[in-house]
Amino acid sequence: NNVADQRKTSCSVFLPLAGKNEPEPEQPVPRKVAIRMLGSPEEIDPDALESMHSLGCFRDKEKLTKDLLSEDDNQEKMIYFLLLDRKERYPSHEDQNLPPRNEIGTSLLFHPAV
Number of Cβ within 10 Å of residue 50's Cβ equals 11
Give residue 114's pLDDT band: very low, low, confident or very high (50, 70, 90).
very low
Name every residue whose Cβ is closer than 8 Å to that of residue 40 and which is 6 or more positions away in sequence. Answer: 69
- pTM for the full predicted model: 0.57
Q: Give the model confidence (pLDDT) of 32-74 as tens digits.
A: 888 889 999 999 999 999 999 898 888 899 999 999 999 999 9
pLDDT value at residue 31: 76
Query: How many whole angstroms separate alpha carbon 84 and alpha carbon 107?
Result: 14
Characterise 56 by phi-psi region: left (phi > 0), alpha (psi -120 to 50), beta (else). Answer: left
Residue 9 has pLDDT above 70, yes or no: no
- The answer for residues whose C-beta is within 8 angstroms of residue 97's C-beta and 6 or more apart is none
